[in-house]
Amino acid sequence: MNTELAIDVRGLSKRFGTRTVVDALAIQVRRGEICGFLGPNGSGKTTTIRMLCGLLEPDAGEGQCLGLDLRRDAARIKRRVGYMTQRFGLYEDLSLEENLDFVARVYGMPRRREVVTGALERLGLAGRRSQLAGSLSGGWKQRLALAACMLHEPELLLLDEPTAGVDPKARRDFWQQIHALAAEGLTVLVSTHYMDEAERCHRLAYISYGRLLAAGSAAEVVAAAGLATWSLQGERLAEAVELIARDERWMAVPFGSAVHVSARAGEDFAAWLAQAAPGAWTVEPIATGLEDVFISLTQHAQDPLA
């Protein structure tokens, strides 16, 4: 057993009926690391997170979470993990303080009032302690949910799209809190669709149709993709996208007032376009970004039921 790893699983699989949602997945996360967990909707991220925290039993696979056996020690894992779900899961007709007190009771925590007060103060919620949770904005609900899943001082935090639907300032504040917690030694696995958030993570794991397609730091994932990317600009960009789509070598995606075109390294898009539509648009090579890589991975992933 590697004591430097908070998560170390392999062959992890889960089926619902005839559909395999997670397919022989292997993932490792070091202690004190923030790992971004990425993939399109329906790729198996939530199911994986629920298996890691002991809420779902894998159909196959083995490994450890916080040094505990994923199958045999599921109950013990739950006590040492904080899980923040996609949807707000606290009671909207209770105040912030009452919600946290309820969570503290569930965990059987001693000195509940002291613990709850500390959590409210740490996340800037003390001034709203008597406010009903249902009256909070998305960003404040997010803070309350984080306070609730941190109440029992977990060693591992599992966050399932925690910033979906909140404004940019709330997202920034949330990530400052996450990095502060990681600096204190907390391990974080966070699923997200935001590429700026992915770039804030120490390492990334990308899955599609339940299979791991890429893992490593942001720079490693981009380098391993082996893509070349160009920025295409000019008028009638919709026509350009339609033209490019006729050749399966190119992947064209609108990016604001330009179109990003990616292909395997070694291909020459500029030369191809000069022949296909001479002088119609301007093209210049640019650095491949994470979003280019993940769009490419998604488009080339094969649905096993297709």
Instruction: From first to last of the 306 residues of the chain, give the pLDDT tens digit.
Output: 567 999 999 999 999 999 999 999 999 999 999 999 999 888 999 999 999 998 999 999 999 999 999 999 999 999 999 999 888 889 999 999 999 999 999 989 999 999 999 999 988 899 999 999 999 988 899 899 999 999 999 999 999 999 887 888 888 988 999 999 999 999 999 999 888 899 999 999 999 999 999 999 999 999 999 999 999 999 999 999 999 999 999 999 998 899 999 999 999 999 999 999 999 999 999 999 999 999 888 877 666 554
State the pTM of this model. Answer: 0.90
Predicted pLDDT at 286: 96
Q: Are residues 231 and 276 in the same domain?
A: yes
Within a domain: 18: yes
Q: What is the pLDDT of residue 304?
A: 55
Same domain for 173 and 45: yes
297 within some domain: no
What confidence score (pLDDT) does residue 3 get? 72
pLDDT for 167 equals 84
Domain assignment of residue 305, yes or no: no
Q: Beta-strand (E) ranges in the chain?
A: 5-16, 19-30, 34-38, 60-65, 68-69, 81-84, 156-160, 187-191, 203-208, 211-216, 227-233, 251-255, 258-264, 282-286
Shared domain check, 83 and 25: yes
Residues 52 and 156 occupy one common structural domain: yes
Task: Identify whether residues 191 and 271 lie together within a single domain.
Answer: no
Domain boundary among 164, 197, 221: 221
Given 177, 200, 221, the domain boundary residue is 221
Would 299 be classed as within a structural domain? no
- Pairwise CA distance, residues 255 & 240, whole Å: 13
Looking at the fold, whether 208 and 258 belong to one and the same domain comes out as no
Residues 78 and 162 in one domain: yes
Query: Which residue is it, tokens 């404004």?
Result: 167
- Phi and psi at 262, nearest 5°, equal -125, 155
Q: Which of 221, 244, 267 is the endpoint of a domain?
A: 221
Please indicate, yes or no, whether residues 16 and 52 belong to a single structural domain of this protein. Answer: yes
Res 205: pLDDT? 96
Is residue 99 within 8 Å of residue 140, measured between CB atoms?
no
Assess whether 250 and 185 both reside in one domain.
no
Q: Are residues 129 and 204 in the same domain?
A: yes
Which domain does 231 fall in, by range? 227-287
> What CATH number is attached to the domain comprising 181?
3.40.50.300
Domains identified in the chain, total number: 2
181 with 277, same domain: the answer is no
Task: Let me know if residue 270 belongs to a domain.
Answer: yes
Q: How many CB atoms lie within 10 A of CB 4?
A: 11
Both 134 and 242 in one domain: the answer is no
Domain-located, residue 293: no
* Local structure of 252: helix, strand or coil: strand
- According to DSSP, the residues that pair with 227 across neighbouring strands are 264
Q: Is residue 301 part of a domain?
A: no
Query: According to the model, what pLDDT value does residue 194 have?
Result: 87
Contact of 198 with 204, CB cutoff 8 Å: yes
